[in-house]
Amino acid sequence: MGDLNQLDGGFVLRWMREMAGDIHDERDFLTQLDAAIGDADHGINMDRGFAAALAKLEAEPDGPPGDLLEAVGTTLVLSVGGAAGPLYGSAIRQMGRALDGAKTFDAEALLVLLRAALDEVQRLGAAQVGDKTIVDALSPAIEAYERGLRSGDDLVGATSRAHAAAEEGMRATVPLQASKGRASYLGARSVGHQDPGATSTTMFFAALERTAAWEAGP
Amino acid sequence: MIQSVRRAASILRELGSGQPRLGITELADRLGLAKATVYGLIRALEEDELVERDAETGKYRLGPALLQLGNAFLDGHELRARSLLWADSLATRTSEAVRVGVPNRWNILIVHHVFRPDNSVQILEVGAAIPWHASALGKATAAYRNEASIGELLAGPLPRLTGQTIVEPEDLRRALESIRTEGYAVEDQEAVIGEAELAAPVTDHDGYAVGAIGVVGPVERLLPEGMVREDVLAAVKEVARGLSRDLGGVRRFANHR
């Protein structure tokens, strides 16, 4: 447990531990989603990548939070194939860079980090909401997080809203026809399937919500 | 008569558009037609096995005759028929996936796909239509077409599929010039993030492209440190030359330009 206004490397470590655990548990589910519309490797790739990233953090857990995020991002880029490695890796690396060496950060700073992640994903993928990608969960989650902060939520409340909004965005991908990624040129077969990228992004926010709740204590 | 054919075609397209089973009422609503009209058309399509009725739900889906027609379409492509053995050997030699494409309006249509020989789960992309400018196959083919066709392509839709897709006509024109100089095309994550493709044109006796063959795979393997893998490129160019030679021998049939 710690101070919600002074989130440090330990917060990042816990967040990534939660994320890696969830991804591992849901590996087959993610792969199954991807098999319907992509290359059937999302779960396997994400599991391998987050396991490698977590191992790196556990071995050197003491840096400032930005360094830890950058290490996670770099590991993901290097160890994850497909589109997920470059997207998640670069986005998390940009979150780390946005911290600019700070020893701690607060809920407002987290909003800046999340926006940096979205900017990077959109720079790489040129995707908008409705294209059936990570952005469909990421963008509404960040908006909800900001609304939470503006209406007086603390970190726990705001991350909880973010998770709910990501989940809603994720579910909204089901009826869509993908207009980015491999699924976009394989015809209509993506319709009726939930987007695997939006699903893993929702898990990213679920992990964040749990980490914030733990940080706040009982 | 013509109207009925059009309506029947729109029923088939609707059934092929993602929701695999539709009832008469749903179809009538979607197409803005009377239920009786849809019913008559569906019965005719069903007789020819172009659609079939799902026994459990009573709804209609695409029929088995379409697979035969699809295969007949693929078999009709001289390039595909000629490429089967070449594509297998290219995949074995490079340990990567191989695709063969032919131009189809604004897209490159994948008519043959050999999986990466590593036993991983992959998705068959035969039938996929990739915007030409976002694909090495498409760019290699476009570069070896006549000036009028190139002009049409550059004036057509150029959607952005990733942040790396080249969407400015002038940039594309320069890319096509360099493809003509080098004899091959590179695609660096322009269609799918993380994926690259090296392709070379398959040309007929006049030197115009009837399509292209290429190797597609992870960007870190095909473009390590941003540089083209020379061994893969040499194999692609060699196979494309062999295929072009094969097609030149049957020039009477190579008529897909």
Alpha carbon distance A40, A37 (integer Å): 8
Kindly list the distances between the CA atom of residue B165 and the CA atoms of A87, A131, B34, B162, B190, in Å, as whole numbers in the listed order: 16, 16, 44, 5, 4
Range of the domain at A144: 9-216
CB < 8 Å to B194, chain A: 81-86
User: What one-letter code names the amino acid at B123?
Assistant: I
Asked if residue A3 is part of any domain, the answer here is no
Residue B207 is predicted with a pLDDT of 85
β-strands B51-53, B129-131: how paired?
A: unpaired
pLDDT at A111 (0 to 100): 98
Long-range contacts of B80-83 (CB under 8 A, 24+ apart): B80/B111, B80/B112, B82/B243, B82/B246, B82/B247, B82/B250, B83/B112, B83/B202, B83/B213, B83/B243
Distance separating alpha carbons of residues B7 and B31, to the nearest angstrom = 8
Residue reference for tokens 């709910």: A164
Asked if the C-beta of B128 comes within 8 angstroms of chain A's C-beta atoms, the answer is yes
CA distances from A203 to A159, A164, B60, B131, B171 (A): 12, 11, 37, 32, 39
The answer to whether B49 touches B15, Cβ cutoff 8 Å, is no
Q: Nearest CA to CA, how far is B252 from chain A (Å)? A: 32
What is the residue-level pLDDT of chain B in tens, covering all 257 positions? 789 999 999 999 988 876 778 999 999 999 999 999 999 999 999 999 999 999 889 999 999 999 999 888 888 788 999 999 999 999 999 999 999 999 999 999 999 999 999 887 788 899 999 999 999 999 999 999 999 999 999 999 999 999 999 999 999 999 999 999 999 999 999 999 999 999 999 998 888 899 999 999 999 999 999 999 999 999 999 999 999 998 874 343 334 44
Please say whether the beta carbons of B135 and B101 come within 8 A: yes
Q: What are phi and psi of B60, to 5 degrees?
A: -105, 150
Q: Kindly state the tokens that stand for A70.
A: 């950058």
Among A72, A52, A89, residue whose Cα is nearest residue A11: A72
Contact criterion met (CB below 8 Å) for A73 and A49: no
Q: Which of B162, B169, B225, B170 is nearest to B189 (CA)?
A: B162
- A180 to chain B, closest Cα gap in Å: 6
- Is the separation of the CB atoms in A97 and A73 below 8 Å? no
List the one residue out of B142, B113, B133 whose CA is nearest residue B214: B113
Measured between beta carbons, the chain B residues lying within 8 angstroms of A85 are: 194
Q: Which residues contact B74 (CB under 8 A, 6 or more apart)?
A: B80, B111, B112, B126
CATH number at residue A96: 1.25.40.340
Token pair in block for residue B87: 């594509």
pLDDT (tens, 9 = 90+) of chain A, 218 residues, equals 568 889 999 999 999 999 999 999 999 999 888 877 767 788 999 999 999 999 999 999 999 999 999 999 999 998 887 889 999 999 999 999 999 999 999 999 999 999 999 999 999 999 999 999 999 999 999 999 999 999 999 999 999 999 999 999 999 999 998 888 888 887 777 788 899 999 999 999 999 999 999 998 87
A2 occurs within a structural domain: no
Tokens read off for A21: 């655990």
Helix (H, G, I), strand (E, B) or coil at B33: coil
Which of A83, A172, A68, A66 lies closest to A124, judged by CA? A83
Residue A92: inside a domain, yes or no?
yes
Q: Which helix (H) or strand (E) holds B237?
A: helix B230-248
Q: Which of B19, B128, B193 is facing A191, going by the closest CB pair?
A: B19
Rounded Cα distance between B245 and B214, Å, is 17
Query: Does residue A28 form part of some domain?
Result: yes
Cβ pairs A/B, distance under 8 A: 74
CB A101 within 8 A of CB A122: no
Is B193–A40 a contact, with Cβ atoms under 8 angstroms apart?
no
Chain A nearest-CA distance from B227, in A, is: 17
In DSSP terms, B195 is beta-bridged to B218
| A77 in contact with chain B, both atoms CB, cutoff 8 A | no
- Does residue A151 form part of some domain? yes
Contacts of B143 (CB under 8 A, 6+ apart): B150, B176, B177, B179, B180, B185, B201, B209
Residue A22 belongs to a domain: yes
Of the partner residues B107, B161, B163, the one whose CB lies closest to the CB of residue A123: B163
Residues of A in contact with B123 (CB under 8 A): 35, 38-40, 182, 186
* DSSP code per residue over chain A: ---TTSB-HHHHHHHHHHHHHHHHHTHHHHHHHHHHHS-S-HHHHHHHHHHHHHHHHHHSTTS-HHHHHHHHHHHHHHH--TTHHHHHHHHHHHHHHHHTT-S-B-HHHHHHHHHHHHHHHHHHH---TTSSSTHHHHHHHHHHHHHHHHTT--HHHHHHHHHHHHHHHHHTTTTPPP-SSGGGGSGGGGTTS--HHHHHHHHHHHHHHHHHHHHH--
Exposure string of B200-210, with b = 16+ CB inside 10 Å and e = fewer, is bbbbbeeeebb
Q: Give bridge partners of residue B101 from the DSSP assignment.
A: B110, B212
CB-nearest partner of B163 from A41, A84, A126: A126
Domain-located, residue A4: no
Lookup: tokens for B49: 């096995």
B224 at the A interface (CB within 8 A)? no
Residue to test with chain B: of A32, A185, A190, A191, most B Cβ within 10 A: A185
Going from the N-terminus, what domains does chain B have, and what CATH number goes with each? 2-68 (1.10.10.10), 76-248 (3.30.450.40)
Q: Which residues of A touch B16 (CB under 8 A)?
A: 187-188
Res B48: pLDDT: 93
Decide if A192 touches B, using CB distance below 8 A.
yes
Q: Which residues of B touch A122 (CB under 8 A)?
A: 163
Cβ contacts of residue B112 below 8 Å, gap of 6+? B74, B80, B83, B84, B87, B98, B99, B100, B126
B163-202 residues touching A, CB cutoff 8 A: 163-165, 189, 191-195
B191: chain A residues, CB-CB within 8 Å: 182, 185
Report how many domains make up chain A: 1
Please identify which residue in the block is written with the tokens 């044109």: B201
Shortest Cα distance, chain B CAs vs residue A213, angstroms: 34
Q: Give a yes or no: residue A130 inside a domain.
A: yes
Which of these, B237, B163, B172, lies nearest to B198 by C-alpha position?
B237
pLDDT reported for residue A1: 58
